[in-house]
Amino acid sequence: MITKQKGCVDIGGDDSILYEYIRNVVAHMMTSYNYSFIRTPIFEASELFHRSVGVSSDIVKKETYDFQDKGGRNLTLRPEGTAGVVRSYLENKGYSLPDVQKYYYFGTMYRYERPQTGRLREFTQFGVEVLGSNDPFIDAEVISLQYKILEALRISNLQVNINSLGDNESRMNYREALINYLKPHIHELCPDCQERFNTNPLRILDCKVDAQNEIIQNAPRTIDYLNTESKKRFETVLKYLDLLEIDYEVDAKIVRGLDYYDHTVFEIVSLDNNEGSQSVLGGGGRYNKLIKELDGPDSYGIGFACGVDRILAIMKEMPFYQDFKESIDCYVMYVSEEEKLYALEITQNLRLNGVITETDYLNKGLKGQFKAADRFKAKYLIILNNEDLKKGLVNVKDNATKEEVKVDLDELTEYIIGNL
Ligand code: AMP
């Protein structure tokens, strides 16, 4: 038997109801904040990710799905959403539009990771990218939007961990301090960190292997190296978050794994879930350098990404999860061929009026159909019989109270809608 690939999941049954619910809540919130949906291709030129995410990043070095198509093009399955959105923004000259461009996406991402709880090879993220403004208002808006979406999904005990990497000057000063600090200890860190020391020392702070190592725990903090302007900017972002009543903690260890961040970086965690990195539901940051890196004009960008699979796993543990279990509005029951003709029409009519309706396709007897209706958790049973149909009537049974009434065939749909 062919089975699914390692690190992949099928989202079906009750999970798919939650998945659709998450998608709807996300779409609803994004629309209120006036973010427009963007769908970029699942594969892009490999170069896009090499240049944006960075060749020295773990993602590009170890985790991308790279392949050549039959035309010899070097392609990569997207490991994250930002690069594709920025590529599209530049290709469509979004920067020439007078307003700030605010996009959101919802789709699958691909990383060749070691699969474990909350870490898949194909996973779903939703996220935003805001292009064209450097105003701290946007930093606060993006962070609070992420927070508010998770809150709307009823995920409790959320906390934003926030840090600032500052502008280029601040980053360079910090980089130098970090190199000087790490130099005498570097041989005590993992082989990857030793390599990172030469390619991108900031990445060492993100290392999954050495995260608890004292050397990393005691490393210099980016916020101590911010120049006056960057410090002021960071304070403004925090002031705005206070105003929006977002719970945050300044966490100097957050530098984020990707090459392109500057100024604000953040993660959002669920404090209810203490399975280490699995509790990180999303994160993001400002990436003012990225647009130029991809041959665009000097401009500004900020975004976040949230992991839907981790959100879904948390929601499944919540008491209200039961509310999401599939239930239908009506089950239409019939036995004879004549009744079946009515069943066809009635079922179609109800469905076209938005009433979730199921019926029998297996020529089951009435007993079997009652059982099926219970499996579907049908609220109403519509029981057809020839005698009543001839008089223009149908039997409607409330499956909870077991009360049964005869309803005029012509008024059936309104009756059901009125009682749902
Ligand atoms: P990142 O793009 O690495 O900042 O990830 C943002 C969010 O996406 C994380 O906080 C996770 O919730 C989710 N995520 C990232 N990688 C994976 C993965 N391999 N499997 C499942 N979810 C992931």
Q: 334 and 314 in one domain?
A: no
Q: Quote the ligand 1 centre to 283 CA distance (angstroms).
A: 8
Which residue's alpha carbon is nearest to atom 14 within ligand 1?
A: 307
Mean pLDDT in residue range 250-274: 82
Residue 76 pLDDT greater than 90, yes or no: yes
Residue 130 pLDDT greater than 70, yes or no: yes
Read off the pLDDT band of 216 (50, 70, 90).
Answer: confident
* Angstrom distance (rounded) from CA 194 to CA 182: 10
- 378, part of any domain: yes
- 233, part of any domain: no
Q: 148 and 54 in one domain?
A: yes
Residue 111 Cβ contacting ligand 1 at under 6 Å = yes
- 75, part of any domain: yes
Read off the pLDDT band of 205 (50, 70, 90).
Answer: confident
- 223, part of any domain: no
Q: 359 and 304 in one domain?
A: no
* Spatial contact of 267 and 307, defined as CB atoms under 8 Å apart: no
Domain with residue 23: its CATH number is 3.30.930.10
- 372, part of any domain: yes
- 299, part of any domain: yes
Q: 118 and 55 in one domain?
A: yes
Q: 342 and 277 in one domain?
A: no
Phi, psi of 249 (to 5 degrees): -135, 130
Give the chain's domain count: 2
Residue that is last in its domain, among 301, 321, 341 = 321
Residue 276 pLDDT greater than 70, yes or no: no
Residue 277 pLDDT greater than 70, yes or no: no
Residue 51 pLDDT greater than 90, yes or no: no
Q: pTM for the complete prediction?
A: 0.89
What percentage of the chain reaches a pLDDT higher than 90? Answer: 77
Q: 369 and 311 in one domain?
A: no
Q: Quote the ligand 1 centre to 310 CA distance (angstroms).
A: 8
Q: 74 and 102 in one domain?
A: yes
| Cα torsion 326, 330, 333, 338: sign | negative
Mean pLDDT in residue range 158-170: 94
* Angstrom distance (rounded) from CA 80 to CA 258: 10
- Which stretch of DSSP H or E encloses residue 16? helix 13-32
Tell me the C-alpha to C-alpha distance, in Å, between residue 230 and each of 52, 111, 222, 262.
23, 33, 11, 10
Which residue's alpha carbon is nearest to atom 6 within ligand 1?
A: 282
Q: What confidence tens digit (pLDDT) does each residue in 227-261 have?
A: 999 999 999 999 999 999 999 999 988 877 566 78
Residue 322 pLDDT greater than 80, yes or no: no
Probe target for ligand 1 pocket from 62, 116, 254, 310, with the most ligand atoms within 8 Å of CB: 310
Probe target for ligand 1 pocket from 260, 280, 304, 314, with the most ligand atoms within 8 Å of CB: 280
The ligand 1 atom nearest the CA atom of 282: 10
Q: Quote the ligand 1 centre to 173 CA distance (angstroms).
A: 30
* Spatial contact of 382 and 346, defined as CB atoms under 8 Å apart: yes
Domain with residue 346: its CATH number is 3.40.50.800
Q: Quote the ligand 1 centre to 330 CA distance (angstroms).
A: 40
Q: What confidence tens digit (pLDDT) does each residue in 358-390 have?
A: 999 999 999 999 999 999 999 999 999 999 999
Q: 113 and 37 in one domain?
A: yes
Residue that is last in its domain, among 321, 346, 365 = 321
Q: Quote the ligand 1 centre to 24 CA distance (angstroms).
A: 20
- 218, part of any domain: no
Among 131-135, 192-196, 318-322, 393-397, the minimum mean pLDDT is found in: 318-322
Residue 119 Cβ contacting ligand 1 at under 6 Å = yes
What does the mean pLDDT of the chain come to? 93
pLDDT confidence of residue 138? 98
Q: 305 and 408 in one domain?
A: no
Q: 142 and 33 in one domain?
A: yes
Q: What confidence tens digit (pLDDT) does each residue in 91-128 have?
A: 999 999 999 999 999 999 999 999 998 999 999 999 99
What percentage of the chain reaches a pLDDT higher than 70? Answer: 98
pLDDT confidence of residue 326? 75
pLDDT confidence of residue 366? 96
Q: C-alpha 21: how far from its chain's center?
A: 12
Residue 163 Cβ contacting ligand 1 at under 6 Å = no
Q: 85 and 133 in one domain?
A: yes
pLDDT confidence of residue 220? 92
pLDDT confidence of residue 267? 95
Domain extent for 370: 327-419
Q: 128 and 258 in one domain?
A: yes
The Cβ of residue 402 has, within 10 Å, a number of other Cβ atoms equal to 8
- 190, part of any domain: no
Which residue's alpha carbon is nearest to atom 21 within ligand 1?
A: 119
Residue 274 pLDDT greater than 70, yes or no: no
Buried b / exposed e over 208-245, threshold 16 CB at 10 Å, is eebeebebbeebbbbbebbeeebbebbeebbebbeeee
Residue 211 pLDDT greater than 80, yes or no: no
